[in-house]
Chain A
Amino acid sequence: MIEVENLTKYYGDFLAIENISFKVNKGEVVGLLGPNGSGKTTTMRILTGFMPPSSGTARVAGHDIVDQGLEARRMIGYMPESVPLYTDMTVSDYLAFMGALRGMDKKRIARRIDAVIDLCRLGDYRHDFIGKLSKGYRQRVGIAQCVLHEPAVLILDEPTIGIDPIQVVETRQLIKNLRGEQTVLVSTHILPEVSMICQRVVIIHEGQVVAEDTPENLSERLQGNERLEIEIRGPAADVMSAIRGLKGVTDVRRDGGGDRAQYTIYSRRGADLREQLAALVVSRGWGLLKLNPMSMTLEEIFLRLTSEEEKA
């Protein structure tokens, strides 16, 4: 449904994305995962015809996004990252306007407005000005306009940013429910979100695709490392060497000096060091001031993924 081939985009001299290629099959929900500035929005803006690529091609439902831009855009429902809306229109006026722009007739517009207002739970705000709505409700209006014309392809740029946890869950459920009927490309930088809603993930980092897989396979690969943060009162050199001696430890780093310092301990997957560490500290008569298991930040994961690919 979406075919992306070697997309490259320069902003002036700045290379934002480079040779991005991937495919989204009909009825699939695919996540575009990447840290800030990795080129998710750029890719989506090219797919939706907001701007052309510097080189490469993309097709949506078989239509080239540059040569057959109008046909391609007709197939797409798009929610931009910032959820731009006309704040001086009411929700229903706005939806009617967007429907008309997409070539829907009056009857269908009226029917679909009822449906999407139901779907996005906007009933109480139907005749309110969009400018009056809270961020979360604007987000719903954004989704409503996006599915209004029942497009074959949905492109959602970080649809769960800036809304409260309950609505995040609702929004994810909503996207999940679209699976099978519509083809969805959704961008995010939240790792767990991907496994919740997507069948496949395309990971981009610094404008390049670094991995493409199912969420299950990816988390296998990513959970190779665990990390602990610990603060110990005791002679630093001794502490370092003692921790290094523990089974499963791959690396230790120290922050601060003297007899009270923070250590970051990296260990192999599955090696839970907490009990061992506590025992160690007690047996040496040191003081344990803090023990904090840390999950890897997204940046680290991408760094690992990129270095992994380089090694391969």
Chain B
Amino acid sequence: MRNTLTIAWKETKTYFSSPTAYVVGAVFLALEGYFFVQAVSVPFAEASVRGFISPATFILVLLAPVLTMRLLAEEQKMGTLELLLTSPVKDWEVILGKYLASLVIFVGTLSFTLYYVLLLFWFGDPDIGPMLSGYLGLILYGGAALAVGLLASSLTPNQIVSAVLGFGVLLLLTVTDQAAQVVSGLGAVILEKVSITAHFTDFARGIVDTGNVVYYVTVVFLLLFLTTRYVESRRWR
């Protein structure tokens, strides 16, 4: 665990020494600000976080892979993976450390939106339940999106390719939700089950369903496991 934290800490610091984290954070907050203003500026606006929590999932499809694209791709390109993997560190510790760093940056950025929440409390009387569930859902959703991005980053030494890959996979996992509405029967059920957005809607409505939480946590573990396996398999080639 100590190794994981060492790596997480190093990666977090690296985020701050490159513009990526700032740009991703700024774009995320700017878009969130737009959705917030749009949601509250209609007559009889509802004092709720739904207006900017739901669109956040869409923004994350675009931004999560950008946040993670460097993490493993750059190590491969620079050859530093050789030093990392020959250190007395387990492969999963490396992967988990890097994942945690991206999660820290994401949650850190997300915490800035609490400012909007403060505004809601100032000017209205929002319901706390949906707010908490919305944020929980967003963190779980973001966590899964970052895990997708990290896997993509392990597959290639090229950051751009990694970002596009992650973006493509996330988009696919998103559209299965819509595809589910077109088909019927078992196909629809399966498509809805794998959709990363279908599991989110309940959170936005204020419902914390254990099944949905389990879904996201499972997705994260599965993806981190696959990433570790893939990095391990590089040793065998």
Interface positions of A (Cβ within 8 A of B):
11-12, 45, 48-52, 70-71, 73-74, 76, 78, 80, 82, 84-89, 93, 97-98, 100-103, 145
CB distance from A193 to the nearest CB of B (A): 23
- Chain A residues with Cβ below 8 Å from B79 are 80, 82, 84
Majority SS of interface residues in chain B? helix
- Chain A residues with Cβ below 8 Å from B38 are none
**Total B residues in contact with A, Cβ cutoff 8 Å:** 25
Q: Are B86 and A87 in contact (CB under 8 A)?
A: no
Q: Are B88 and A101 in contact (CB under 8 A)?
A: yes
Q: Are A102 and B82 in contact (CB under 8 A)?
A: no
- Give the number of residue pairs across the A-B interface with Cβ within 8 Å: 67
- In angstroms, Cα B30 to Cα A205, docked, is 61
**20 A-B pairs (CB sep. < 8 Å):** A11-B237, A12-B237, A49-B85, A50-B82, A50-B86, A52-B236, A70-B88, A71-B88, A73-B87, A78-B83, A80-B82, A84-B80, A85-B80, A88-B17, A88-B18, A100-B2, A101-B6, A101-B84, A101-B88, A103-B2
CB-CB nearest 10 A-B residue pairs: A84-B79, A74-B88, A48-B86, A84-B80, A100-B6, A73-B88, A51-B235, A101-B87, A80-B82, A82-B79
Given contacts A70-B90, A88-B14, A103-B2, 20 further A-B contacts (CB under 8 A): A45-B82, A50-B82, A50-B85, A50-B86, A50-B235, A51-B235, A51-B237, A71-B88, A74-B88, A84-B78, A84-B80, A86-B78, A98-B83, A101-B6, A101-B7, A101-B87, A101-B88, A101-B89, A102-B87, A103-B88
- Is the C-beta of B205 less than 8 angstroms from some C-beta in chain A? no
- Chain A residues with Cβ below 8 Å from B237 are 11-12, 51
- In angstroms, Cα B2 to Cα A102, docked, is 11
CB distance from B20 to the nearest CB of A (A): 11
